[in-house]
Amino acid sequence: MARRYTRGGRPFAFAQASVDAGEVVFGSRTALAEWAGSHRSQITRAAKGQEIGGEAGWRVAGLAAVVTALLGIYEADAVAGWMHGANPHLRDRRPLDVLAEGDVAAVMAAVQAARTGAYA
């Protein structure tokens, strides 16, 4: 069962940040839900503070972590392009595809490489 949080709580802030991160990358909650493997209503509930469980929750949480790190390097439009583009540090796979497989660590390593200017 999903938990609900008050607006002032940290879990609420995380749920909202996760949805915001998805909107940076996908432009809509519908596209975020499709990528995460959930229904759009789950994303809407997350924006109101309800936790997303299961694999969809893991994907959205991982996406939020990566987008937060990338926003420290790039503008929002560039973040979306980075996430959708082939990345040599990920064997020319898209970061979104690697995240969908559950490999947050590999994508964060690619973010670190981008931050330091490392070449693949």
CA distance 82 to 74: 9
* Residue pair 43/29 in contact by the 8 Å Cβ criterion: yes
Task: Look at residue 66 and tell me if it is in a domain.
Answer: yes
Task: Look at residue 100 and tell me if it is in a domain.
Answer: yes
- Tens-digit pLDDT profile for residues 64-93: 999 999 999 999 999 999 999 999 999 999
* Residue pair 23/17 in contact by the 8 Å Cβ criterion: no
Task: Look at residue 1 and tell me if it is in a domain.
Answer: no
- The residue segments making up the domain with residue 103 are 10-116
pTM given for the model: 0.84
- Tens-digit pLDDT profile for residues 96-105: 999 999 999 9
- Tens-digit pLDDT profile for residues 16-30: 888 889 999 999 999
Helix (H, G, I), strand (E, B) or coil at 50: coil
Query: What is the number of domains present in the chain?
Result: 1
Task: Look at residue 32 and tell me if it is in a domain.
Answer: yes
> Tokens 């995380």 — which residue?
14
